[in-house]
Amino acid sequence: MTKSKSDQMVFVPLGGVGEIGMNMAAYGFGPEGDRKWLVVDCGVTFGGPNQPGIELIMADSTFLEDRAENVVGLVLTHAHEDHYGAVLDLWPDFEKPVYATAFTAAMLNAKRASDGINVDLDIRIMEQRKPFEVGPFTVEAIPVVHSIPESNALYITCPAGRAVHTGDWKLEEKPVSGLPTDRKRFEAIGKEKGPLALICDSTNAKKEGMSPDESEVAINLERIIREAPNRVAFTVFASNLGRVISIAKAAQKAGREVVLAGRSLHRIANVGQELGMLDGLPTFHDQDAFQHLSRNKICLICTGSQGESRAAIARIAREEHPVIDLDAGDRVVFSSWAIPGNEKEVQDIQNRLIDKGVDVITNSDELVHVTGHPRREELRTLYGWLKPSILVPVHGEAAHLTAHAALGHEMGIESVMPIRNGDMVTLFPEPTISPREVRTGQLYLDGDILCTPDESGVRGRRRLSFGGIVIVSLCVGPDGNLRGSPQIIIDGLPRPEEDEEGAEEVVELAIQAIFKSIPKKRKRDHMTVQQAIRSAVRNELNAWWGKKPNVEVMVHQLRN
């Protein structure tokens, strides 16, 4: 394909720029109005207290759906939920190929089988360091170190220009599993002719220095397990197979058996075993083995590092797990960090364990976790290898993106592009930003239904959580008089002691008073009655309680 004067290479983030998680972006090539689109990653983030009932949130893909005939494929950088977790929900409708390494493809298939999702995907295995064609794009997966196997940066070229999309990465010469970050390939790319755009991870851009190595964590884990007098348990990111391997090796040296608790841990362990990544390690036990092993011979690895209420460590802390319990003198290591927004839930679990007399160790106490993202010196090193003329900070909240942009300026990069989700970035031939050019937003997975926030009913759930609900059902005869007593249902309001006036009494008195005050002719108008009673009940409850609850009134007009 030859380059024309109107051809451009553009970049559009749909998620993950201005937030942690929900990563999804697209590279476009061609003249405006007739571009081919290559999608990179399709991830999720997790619902928090402001989204009651919502577990998964993903990027609104309307922009791509409107151009589906010009979408050429999806490339996954790695198998973390925030980069591939939405594939099974969003991508089948595109009917275009998914390119992934063998490990990421296996994780995707295991996820599909485990969750019982019956969708067809054209998954194509990409080999690291072996370029392949996707429409007008040439893509090369370059090995980088991260906290999951087979993580990649992507070298994306088209007739209009070239870009390196780092994905999640860090520098580490001797990773516990997988290949080191490919310095020689990056240096070779930096020596190629023509300007280069770097679209780069910003997660740790506020932190100076170099990230600690996983090998340093492994040394500490080995000592912590060796010195533990009784049971020792770890909670980790379930996708961090390298950490699982470090723990398993340390447990093996200490003569302990490894027990896994949590479906997602079994999923990644099974995939790792099938691909030979766990060779040399003893077989992991299912949680049922916990009760049959000696107290000083157990090394437990649990899900729930982010405080998820249904995950293994939370259930253990609440003493609700069917087969696992921990006692005073046991040890629990939180070999993870709390994603912003999850701190309280994680702390609650830790406090429950401490109250039981369990020895809790976190990264605040010892080096028991390292992230898979670059600090500032690592960023400087990558700039030196690639020599980019354009820097686009991605993957981070506003503070991370701003710090990364400032570092780019400090290092003399010619064009630093401070962007957010929905900005259209022209990389070549001239770097420019068109703010909020593209529709972006969120989609909620609410049970089995994928919907927009407005469609989800979450706003109503928040109202219910704040003010409870009162439901009034009454019958009005043709003469305008009440027939029988109103039926009242109250949920979520205070219930005082029996000798004090309660909400139900307040509601009954409000109904009687307002019904008497409505003119007889208007009592036959159920809308008038409905609105008057709703307003009266809310106002009287506000006077009694200090809050206005949600009130629903059903008026049944009788004909005789």
Integer Cα distance of 466 and 351 in angstroms: 26
* CA triple 187-82-302, angle to 5 deg: 110
Q: Please tell me the predicted confidence (pLDDT) of residue 499.
A: 61
Asked whether the predicted pLDDT for residue 447 surpasses 90, the reply is no
How many other C-beta atoms can be found within 10 angstroms of the C-beta atom of residue 522?
12
Q: Are 522 and 528 a contacting pair, CB within 8 Å?
A: yes
Structure confidence at residue 50 as a pLDDT band (50, 70, 90): confident
Average pLDDT of the chain to the nearest whole number:
93
Q: What is the per-residue DSSP string for 26-89? A: EEEEESTTS-EEEEEEE-EEE--TTSTT--EEEE--HHHHTTGGGEEEEE-S---HHHHTTHHH
Q: What is the model's pLDDT at position 560?
A: 73
Look up residue 235 and give its amino acid: T
* Cα 299 to Cα 324: distance, rounded to the nearest angstrom: 12
Q: What is the mean pLDDT of residues 438-446?
A: 93
- pLDDT per residue over 244-277, tens digit each? 999 999 999 999 999 999 999 999 999 999 999 9
Task: Give the integer Cα–Cα distance in Å for 4 and 63.
Answer: 25
pLDDT per position as a tens digit, 380-402: 999 999 999 999 999 999 999 99
Output the pLDDT for position 3. Answer: 54
State residue 5's pLDDT score.
59
Q: CA–CA separation, 37 vs 44, rounded Å?
A: 21
For residue 176, pLDDT over 90 is answered with no
- Domains of the chain with CATH codes: 8-209+371-456 (3.60.15.10), 214-361 (3.40.50.10710), 468-557 (3.10.20.580)
Closest CA to 152 of 100, 106, 109, 110: 100
Q: Quote the CA–CA distance of 44 and 409 in Å, as a whole number.
A: 31
pLDDT digits (tens, 9 = 90+) for 297-354: 999 999 999 888 889 999 999 999 999 999 999 999 999 988 777 889 999 999 999 9
Helices 376-386/183-191 angle, 10° precision: 50
> Which pLDDT belongs to residue 219?
94
Give yes or no for a contact between 470 and 503, defined as CB atoms under 8 angstroms apart: yes
What mean pLDDT is predicted for residues 185-205?
97
